[in-house]
Structure 1
């Protein structure tokens, strides 16, 4: 591994967006850069810094040059509740626009911090949700790199659809072929909500700002790897006309149990108890169910999912992040946890997902198809049962089911937007969920082929991050490109 000398040391600034799916991979990236001799400064608000403090502290104790500088999140100025520093703390989606306004208000603080920082920064890597980072970097005469929390496949889908004039006037439930892709992918207009079809003028304006910032950025950083989606990486480079560095799967930098167990937040279950439970189950038998940090299903759909897990007769871990009053009442009145005790383990809150997925007793993963979770399932060699809810999760489902062919679709058709869950109702019955579970565990030729593909991609993902692997080389190239940026200009 090439490591910079003290005289050559570069200083990278990382600005993660305040949502778990955006923040966690950037924390991993900070460690990957620091391992190669880069000095890294991460800008976080106090609440978000506290979530990742154990992992950062261990990295610092190991000698990595990583520091965290706190930004004061302007809750009051943006008319947000006090302490609402992460997207998963929003009481309702109605406040999403205010949250974005608050992140825009961070710019003066960032400019002040970076103007005084020593040594001076050489590069800003900012989440796509901070389009103003391009102008900040321009003032400092340093490159700005956009971090995308999506795969290249979904980014290409989004790009092609935003530049396609046939969506307007199309019925929301009509399946059409996404234009300009190497694979035949069919979606509906409804499934594009908040991805290529903004739900409001404000959101559309924000998406345009993101696009403009990307056009003016030095390049794009993606948590993926070349062997997973080679055609789509090339297509993204072609359509954007930018450097694209794929440096993932970045979660694989979490090699020890504490880092896996404390990645992102303190687990809501005793990690050792969780591991003991997993140890008691046969190899490749456990179904892991986790629908992300922001996802919320309507109560009737949660009940259907719970009954499907109970009826499956398979051991399972079910992570329940958000419990409505109605669903909490159902759990209690039906004594659900008592009924599945021993075979089912319920985690209320945050789970040590990377640690659980890497356990040999895991056999399959029911996922909302957020990209981090999808990629973590891939690195664990698991077939997926796909239950997308919003944003690019429907295109990630298409990638898992139709492109890499490791996923089984349950049948979600309409997005379940944050704050509008109860207006949707039941989309997939317990029988449909059970059918997908049985299909993913099927011992026949189709199931065996799916597991072989999952295992093959797992092996490729691990090789990508090893010394000399594609992602390892891309991180080195990223550092080299930034070091040579002035000459290029």
Structure 2
């Protein structure tokens, strides 16, 4: 008699930030629908986000439950105030670095979970470099989950290898990124390292570089990476990554597609700040492809002046819109959006605009036939979610991380959107862009000949993406 085969078991350890947790939850759903037992590790205050996202799809995975294991967050040891266990709660570079350092203290907790379950594989976020050490200790492969594109990975690699930014004489002078398949131009002001070299930021830069380099070294020691991508969207860069850079990688298609039902789309991430029926009722009242969706993700902080200028640009564009404004803390003080909107803005925009204060059900909104365009900070989750549904309708306003790379992918490689005009890298704050820039970009992607050309290109990308899914 043959022995019964044991089902594969994967332990998944997402970084504690919405931008990392949301796609990781989708990865867990992807695994379990492919008959792989999955356990997610998180901390007590982050667990409700994960559990809430899983509840809407629990019945779809009968026989293959997703377990959630809580480990204590080392707040005291890491110098983090009690009650803060997520990156989106922080409002300074110093606190962000302290938070990243605190997560290094989770190694022992991870080892305890590995000892308890003895899984076949550990999938851990790139910002957990110690995960490679733990995986080696338990003699299992460690896969890095990367929430970005192959394009961004390739550009980042080339930039570190050749340092072309050193060949220009000023921060605003353009240079060509060498070696990659497309001619991509950047400036020093759009690079994270050069932007952080400003006055008074050397200490923060040094600490950040230590953390980043540690993560990159651990990635090199890992078995490979999992990418939330599909080959047909950026084939030249998948090939470059695997053949030229010589890295092991698996693209597992856009994992957000596992959220097919309305309930799953609505409950993805944090609790929504708007009622599902209220949101859909407003969208149902609009004509197909007539609404622009404006959202800058879960981390970006928008100043009072910028809120006002975005509002003025939206009004001047004369387009229907949904505008998501998260709870903002600027310089330690919460910004009340109502205090900084133009006089009687909401009264004038009552029929044309819907403002959502807090968390929005993004997938549910983007999936509605009324949505035509997406003004985004170029976070990869937003870029990918929007791209799956409304290719050809992006207005890009990159903020932080590798967002300028994502902007180049959308505007110069896929040619499915237009840049609003951000020129300087900033970790969490949007750049002061005038209302005219907002208005012009929205109109370029919503009306006129250019909008039609972008839409045509978007249809082609949509065709390619459907073939690849």
TM over 0.5: yes
Distance 1:6 1:146, change over 3 A: farther
The residue matched to 2:299 in structure 1 has which SS?
A: coil
Tell me how far 1:460 sits from its aligned partner: 3.5
Task: Report the count of equivalent residues.
Answer: 453
Contact preservation (8 Å) 2:148, 2:227: yes
* TM-score after normalising by structure 1: 0.88
Contact preservation (8 Å) 2:176, 2:184: yes
Tell me how far 1:78 sits from its aligned partner: 0.9
1:454 aligns with 2:458: yes
Distance 1:432 1:18, change over 3 A: same
Query: CA–CA distance in 2 between the matches of 1:225 and 1:436?
Result: 29
Query: CA–CA distance in 2 between the matches of 1:22 and 1:97?
Result: 17
* Runs of 5+ unmatched residues, structure 2: 198-203
Corresponding residue to 1:373 among 367, 382, 395: 382
Distance 1:265 1:396, change over 3 A: same
Query: CA–CA distance in 2 between the matches of 1:195 and 1:265?
Result: 34
Aligned equivalent of 1:107: 107
Query: CA–CA distance in 1 between the matches of 2:131 and 2:386?
Result: 32
Aligned equivalent of 2:368: 359
Query: CA–CA distance in 2 between the matches of 1:99 and 1:379?
Result: 33
Cα deviation digits, residues 194-240 of structure 1 (max 9, x gap): 59978611111112111111111111111111111000011111344
Query: CA–CA distance in 2 between the matches of 1:425 and 1:232?
Result: 29
Aligned equivalent of 1:9: 7
Cα deviation digits, residues 139-179 of structure 1 (max 9, x gap): 01010111111100000011111112443485322211111
Tell me how far 1:6 sits from its aligned partner: 6.7
Aligned equivalent of 1:189: 188
Query: CA–CA distance in 2 between the matches of 1:190 and 1:425?
Result: 12
Contact preservation (8 Å) 1:42, 1:66: yes
Query: CA–CA distance in 1 between the matches of 2:131 and 2:84?
Result: 22
1:80 aligns with 2:90: no
Query: CA–CA distance in 2 between the matches of 1:130 and 1:326?
Result: 33
Tell me how far 1:455 sits from its aligned partner: 2.7
Contact preservation (8 Å) 1:18, 1:48: yes
Which one is further off, 239-248 or 391-400?
A: 239-248
* TM-score after normalising by structure 2: 0.92
Which one is further off, 188-197 or 129-138?
A: 188-197
Tell me how far 1:447 sits from its aligned partner: 2.1
Contact preservation (8 Å) 2:125, 2:146: yes
The residue matched to 1:391 in structure 2 has which SS?
A: coil
The residue matched to 1:283 in structure 2 has which SS?
A: coil
Distance 1:297 1:169, change over 3 A: farther
Contact preservation (8 Å) 2:325, 2:358: yes
Distance 1:279 1:6, change over 3 A: farther
Tell me how far 1:292 sits from its aligned partner: 0.7
Query: CA–CA distance in 2 between the matches of 1:194 and 1:377?
Result: 28
Tell me how far 1:190 sits from its aligned partner: 1.6
Distance 1:282 1:194, change over 3 A: farther
* Runs of 5+ unmatched residues, structure 1: 466-489
* 1:429-444 equivalent positions in 2, closer than 5 A: 429-444=434-449
The residue matched to 1:18 in structure 2 has which SS?
A: coil
